[in-house]
Amino acid sequence: MRTRRIHIMGAPGSGTTTLGRHLAMATVLPHHDTDDFFWLPSNPPFRQTRPREERLALMRTLFLEREGWILSGSLEGWGDEFISSLDYVIFISLEKEIRMKRLRAREERHYGAAAVAPGGWRYEETQSFLDWAAHYDDSILDGRNRKRHEAWLSRLSCPILQADGGDSIENLVGQAVGFIGKEA
C-alpha cells in the first residue's frame, strides 16, 4: 500500500490549517500542525519556541513513521529531515489583502476584539505579527516568506499541488483528494 504523507504549506492566513483539518476528515488521516511542535504550550499561545531538536523528536515519535498523515504549516528552515518522508505537498497561495483580513479576524477570535485593539493587552504583539505576515510575498523580512518557500519546494521530488486559498474549502478538499488519488 502506498503511503499518504501530505504536507500543506503556504503564507500565514492562506488556509493551510483549515485545509489540513478538512482533508483529514475526508481521508480519515490524522492531522497535525507544525505550530503544535514549533511552539511550547502556553497561555496565551505562541510565546516561546520549542528547541529544534525537541520538536523534531516529538514529531518523529508522534507520527513520522505512520503510513499516512497530514501536516499543515511550514517546515522550511527547520524540518528538512522530513523531506524524504513526504508523498505529496500542497502549496496554498492567497492574495495579501484576503490573508490579512483572515489573520485580523483570527486574532480577534483567539484573544477578543478588545485585546487586539489599540490599548489592548495583545495589541503590540498582534501588530507585530500582522506586519510580519504582510511581508510574506515581498520577502523583505527574515524567516518564513514566499521566496524561501519556493526554494524549499524546488528541492522536493514528490508531486506538488498549487492551490488557490481563495477557493471554497469544499473545492480545495476536492482538488486535494483528486490530486492524491490521481497520483497514487
* 28 inside domain: yes
Position 76 in a domain: yes
Give a yes or no: residue 130 inside a domain: no
- Condensed to tens digits (0 to 9), the pLDDT of residues 90-145 reads 999 999 999 999 999 999 999 999 999 999 999 999 999 999 999 999 877 677 88
Residue 49: per-residue pLDDT: 94
CATH number for the domain harbouring residue 155: 3.40.50.300
In a domain, 167, yes or no: yes
- Mean predicted lDDT score pLDDT of the chain: 92
Give me the pLDDT at residue 161, please: 97
Query: Which residues form the domain of 171?
Result: 4-96+144-183
The per-residue pLDDT for 29 is: 94
Residue 184: the pLDDT is 46
Residue 120 belongs to some domain of the structure: no
d(CA 88, CA 179): 9
Looking only at the bridges linking them, the beta strands covering 88-93 and 68-72 are: unpaired
Q: Is residue 38 part of a domain?
A: yes
Mean pLDDT, range 10-17, rounded to an integer: 96
Is 112 within a domain? Answer: no
97: CB partners within 8 A, 6+ apart? none
> Does the predicted model carry a pTM greater than 0.85?
yes
How far CA 27 is from CA of 12, 30, 72, in Å, comes to 24, 9, 15
Q: Looking at the predicted structure, is the pLDDT value of residue 1 above 50?
A: no
Per-residue pLDDT at 25: 96
Number of domains in the chain: 1
131 inside domain: no
Distance CA 50, CA 47 (A): 10
DSSP letters spanning 133-179? HHTTTTT-SSSS-HHHHHHHHHT--S-EEEEETTS-HHHHHHHHHHH
Lowest pLDDT segment from 15-24, 60-69, 124-133: 60-69
